[in-house]
Amino acid sequence: MTRSFRNPILYFSVALGLFVTCGTALYIYGSQSTFPGNVTIAGWRVGGMSYAEFQSESEQRLKRLAAFPVFLHASYPEVPAKELSLGQLGIRYDRSLLTQSLQQLTSGSPFERAKARWTLRNANIPLNVSLDPIQLSATVKDSWKELYSKQPVAAKRILKSQDQVDYEPERNVLRIDTAHLQEQLQIIAPSLGTLTHTAPLGLSLPIYEQSPSITMASLKQQGIDGKISEFTTSFPQSGEGRVHNIRATAASIQDYLMAPGETFDYSKIIAQTEAKFGYKEAPVILNGSLVPGIGGGICQVSTTLYNAVLRSGLEIVERRNHSLPVSYVPLGQDATFASGYINFKFRNNTNSYIWIRTITTDSAVTVKLFGHQTPTITYDIASKIVETIQPPVKYVNNPSLSPGLERPISTGKVGYKVETYRTKRENGTIVSKELISKDQYSPVPTVIAANRKGLQTEEPAPKQPMVEDGVSTLAVQ
């Protein structure tokens, strides 16, 4: 019979010894002041290096990395090569992972430090690399100041002889593509930790051409290929104020561009002209009478534009005739303006842009409309008087005259009712005829003074002042 002998004290002593031995080993293992073997940081072997030595060496390495030179060059002679450091280019090396790993090795219980040491024994700890795009852009613009001092020049639409539409192409400028440069730097920056030399790293600059917002292609896409209509009205060479007002208003619509479907608003042109150039003294129409005022002549521009619009086939949205006939166009073909009462509007009902050009001389103003030219289509404008309205007679009492005696004060003027038609022709054949407007020009009464028993002078009801062909009367100012 076999008998086993068990001594609990012996077993306890053995276990305790093993525990103490392991604990001591863990304590010694976790308390070492050097990195575990085979540890690398971004390719830099730090295994066996003391923590103190690492702290000093890592600071120097990060400084060297920030100062690492990059030779930036391009294949364009306009872009000179530059040597800049990674730090200047916005590269930032973040040591937060290094600090975190070092804290794991130097803080906590011996067991925790030993565990961290064992975990990191073959680790390759990366460097967190970031790039500040704002600094990169600022550095690039500052380093290539001459390059960035040049700005792209927009393409221009120009008129050649005989109103031929031509183009002056845009001029592009070279720019450094900082977005792609940032991508390249972020790829190479992490790998530089293993380099021991200090020779600059060569990098080809990504270059692109920056175009202006208006290019020749974008202008051609607007579909303006020729003149579609033109109209000229004349004015006397006397009257410096009226000439100024016509010139200033015509200048405000020079090079006006209308997109398809857009509506032209003459009231905005008047406000713009008054703010930019100011209007001068010239006669205006106040409630059907010609009086001294400011801005006289602005309706000659709207009338000239209106006639060009009529002959282009564009849609008339809003328009009214003057209360008095004007001398520079036939009856029914004028377009007046009265701020707050009467406006002139038309719509671009074509599929291409409309471009307005004006020419003003000392005696005439011309408006030309350009768009998609269709030579086979033309428009004729004709106005006819459908009724002549005889002037009424107005008597005013004059007690100083002998009874029954009459004395003419002013001769009246007849009024008219006018219809205006637009005829469309294609290859000379009439395809449509539309009534554009029905206008009425009120007659001016004949005024006669008389001394008649019971004749009462009737005072006309006061009218709210409406200024046509100007912006104000001198009395209103």
Position with higher pLDDT, 215 vs 452: 215
Position with higher pLDDT, 314 vs 108: 314
For 26-32, the CB contacts below 8 A with 24+ separation are 26/110, 26/111, 26/114, 27/110, 27/114, 29/114, 29/117, 29/118, 30/110, 30/111, 30/112, 30/113, 30/114, 30/115, 30/116, 30/117, 31/110, 31/113, 32/117
Tens of pLDDT, residue by residue over 153-165, are 999 999 999 999 9
Q: How confident is the model at residue 57 (pLDDT cuts 50, 70, 90)?
A: confident
Q: What is the mean pLDDT of residues 273-280?
A: 96
Q: Is the pLDDT of residue 385 over 70?
A: yes
Q: What is the mean pLDDT of residues 15-29?
A: 64
- Indicate the range of 47-61, 275-289, 337-351 predicted with least confidence: 47-61
Position with higher pLDDT, 407 vs 43: 407
Average pLDDT value for the chain:
87
**Alpha-carbon distance 160 to 41, whole Å?**
70
**Alpha-carbon distance 349 to 309, whole Å?**
11
Q: How confident is the model at residue 477 (pLDDT cuts 50, 70, 90)?
A: very low
Q: What is the pLDDT of residue 247?
A: 96
- pTM (predicted TM-score): 0.75
Q: Is the pLDDT of residue 382 over 80?
A: yes
Q: What's the token pair of residue 472?
A: 């104000």
Q: What is the pLDDT of residue 230?
A: 97
Q: Is the pLDDT of residue 3 over 70?
A: no
Q: What is the mean pLDDT of residues 111-134?
A: 79
**Alpha-carbon distance 368 to 355, whole Å?**
8
Q: What is the mean pLDDT of residues 313-332?
A: 95
- Indicate the range of 33-37, 50-54, 98-102, 194-198 predicted with least confidence: 194-198
**Alpha-carbon distance 437 to 440, whole Å?**
10
Beta partners for residue 394, in sequence order: 447
Q: Is the pLDDT of residue 114 over 90?
A: no
Q: What's the token pair of residue 141?
A: 């613009």
Q: Is the pLDDT of residue 17 over 90?
A: no
Q: What is the mean pLDDT of residues 134-157?
A: 96
Q: How confident is the model at residue 130 (pLDDT cuts 50, 70, 90)?
A: confident
Q: What is the pLDDT of residue 16?
A: 59
Q: What is the pLDDT of residue 188?
A: 84
Q: What is the pLDDT of residue 122?
A: 77
Q: Is the pLDDT of residue 461 over 60?
A: no
Q: Quick one: how far is CA 135 from the chain centroid?
A: 27
Q: Is the pLDDT of residue 147 over 60?
A: yes
Q: What is the pLDDT of residue 462?
A: 52
Tens of pLDDT, residue by residue over 396-455, are 888 888 887 888 988 999 999 999 999 999 999 999 999 999 999 999 999 998 887 665
- Indicate the range of 240-244, 307-311, 402-406 predicted with least confidence: 402-406
Q: How confident is the model at residue 249 (pLDDT cuts 50, 70, 90)?
A: very high
Q: What is the mean pLDDT of residues 245-255?
A: 97
Q: What is the pLDDT of residue 182?
A: 94
Position with higher pLDDT, 398 vs 364: 364
Q: What is the pLDDT of residue 29?
A: 67
Q: How confident is the model at residue 1 (pLDDT cuts 50, 70, 90)?
A: very low
Torsion sign (Cα): 305, 307, 313, 318: positive
Q: What is the pLDDT of residue 159?
A: 95
Please tell me the chain's helix, strand, coil percentages from 3-state DSSP, rounded to the nearest 5: 30, 30, 40
